[in-house]
Amino acid sequence: MVDVNRQNTSYAVTQDFLATLKANVLSVTTPTPSGSSVTHSIQSWATNYNDKQLSTKANYPVIIVEKASVPDEFLTFRKKQTDGSVEVQVHCTNSIATSKFADLIKETIEDQATALKSMGIKKLYLDTDDSDTLMRNSFKDHWALLVFKFEYEFNYGN
């Protein structure tokens, strides 16, 4: 958990989401056509989209937790909560792994709702669940985008 003040609200919320996911979203297993299975472990974590990082197949799977949108201009001594959102992206070279990571992220956020609530992140829900595939260099980048919306309660140390 990051110490929160008015100047770092978005950063703190982003770090809270990142820490929650890093502790719980480590790997997924997918079947192969031969009947065996392959484990896909997260190779990279980031807090912003980076084309250079995503241009190398060896860096995959990647999870990106974009900087949370938590407007603090409306936070005052009396008004201590605001609406916010955070985007989580999953990039894999295997479409099944992408789906499984997206499901694991949703499950983790749901399971950790009480812990996130203690950090000021309340009324958390999945707003957007999207996916697509694109060619990147000589491989396919299967990605999923999850946007979580929430109410953020700023505590000012009280």
Provide the pLDDT confidence category of residue 89 given band limits of 50, 70 and 90. very high
* Adjacency order of strands within the sheet including 44-46: 44-46, 62-65, 81-92, 139-153, 121-136
**Residue ranges of domains in the chain:** 6-30+37-153
pLDDT of residue 52: 80
Please determine, for residue 138, whether its predicted confidence score (pLDDT) is greater than 70.
yes
Please tell me the pTM assigned to this model: 0.86
The fold of 6-30+37-153 is: Alpha-Beta Plaits (3.30.70)
pLDDT digits (tens, 9 = 90+) for 26-85: 999 999 889 899 999 999 999 888 778 888 899 999 999 998 887 766 555 556 777 889
Question: Is the Cβ–Cβ distance between 29 and 38 less than 8 Å?
Answer: yes
The DSSP element (H or E) to which 18 belongs, if any, is helix 9-24
Q: For the chain, first and last CA: distance in Å?
A: 17
Provide the pLDDT confidence category of residue 6 given band limits of 50, 70 and 90. low
